[in-house]
Chains A and B, each alone.
Chain A
Amino acid sequence: MARHLRFVARTVMVQDGNVDAAYKHLNRVLTQDGIIETVKRKRYFEKPCRERQRKNYENCKRIYDTEMARKIAFISRTIRTDPWVGS
């Protein structure tokens, strides 16, 4: 960010003097953009072999989590069509 886009990127205005809410909003935006995670990871050097292992693990975890969320949403659905129509 440094010199370019100063006070444009990663900036949050404080509404009605509510500094805590503004900081929470900023934190949420940064986490969603993946900046906080990147900064924590780049604190120490991550060897390329560890990086490949981590990426592989995150891919598998993402696939597993989406599939599990799909199954849970399917099982816990409330609006169901009546299978025994007419009886």
Chain B
Amino acid sequence: MFKLTCSIVNSLSTACRQASTKGTSFHFPPLPGHDSPLRWGGKKFEELPILHIKATYNNTHIQLTDCEGQSLVRTSCGTEGFKNIKKSTPVAAQTAAISAAAKKATAKGVTFVRVIVKGLGPGRLSAIKGLTMGGLEVVSITDNTPVPHNGCRPRKARRM
């Protein structure tokens, strides 16, 4: 089953790469099986640290982990001193990203980073912008918003 999905993914990716070489230049990320010559700061794509951005409707959390998953830096709008409604603003997300990137990540010697975004909140884009303003290099953006295939029942609809 896993080998089947791997082979499907490989065939899909090679087909898409061949199709997209001439058109738009947004190429696909280097798969762990394939050896690509791309290196960022001497590291392969799989060894770059990962920066998780969880953009909920009320807050934005930012956590930097290494490729294994060990947490290095953790900030959120609340840790930056914002309270209640001010946390759910793009400005707060940007300040959290700048403080996480500029102060703490560069202190640990991190330059290139892969970004994973989760959730559709107000701080989704401004957090990434804050990272680049803070001096971190974003290599790739992944969207990991949880999409249930009809699992848990969400709360009832609001009537306003």
Inter-chain contacts of B140 with A (CB < 8 A):
7, 11-14, 22
| Measured CA separation A2–B145 after assembly (Å) | 9
Inter-chain contacts of A6 with B (CB < 8 A):
142
What are some 8 contacts across the A-B interface (CB < 8 A)?
A10-B142, A12-B26, A19-B128, A22-B140, A23-B125, A25-B26, A35-B143, A44-B156
Name the interface residues of B17-31: CB closer than 8 Å to any CB of A: 25-29, 31
Name the interface residues of B71-118: CB closer than 8 Å to any CB of A: 114
| Measured CA separation A15–B29 after assembly (Å) | 11
- Do B157 and A15 touch (CB < 8 A)? no
> Which of B9, B120, B138 interacts with A36 by CB under 8 Å?
B120
| Measured CA separation A22–B27 after assembly (Å) | 11
Inter-chain contacts of B147 with A (CB < 8 A):
35, 38-39, 42
Q: What 0/1 pattern do residues 141 to 157 of B give for CB contact below 8 A with A? A: 11111011000011111
| Measured CA separation A30–B119 after assembly (Å) | 13
Inter-chain contacts of B114 with A (CB < 8 A):
7
| Measured CA separation A38–B129 after assembly (Å) | 25
| B interface residues with partner A (beta carbon < 8 Å) | 5, 9, 13, 25-29, 31, 45-46, 114, 120, 125, 128-129, 132, 137-145, 147-148, 153-158
Inter-chain contacts of A44 with B (CB < 8 A):
154-158
- Do B156 and A35 touch (CB < 8 A)? no
Q: A65 within 8 Å of B by Cβ? A: no
The closest CB in chain B to the CB of A42 belongs to B154
Inter-chain contacts of A8 with B (CB < 8 A):
9, 13, 28-29, 31
A15-B141 in contact given A45-B153, A45-B154 (Cβ < 8 Å): no
Inter-chain contacts of B45 with A (CB < 8 A):
7
- Do B153 and A13 touch (CB < 8 A)? no
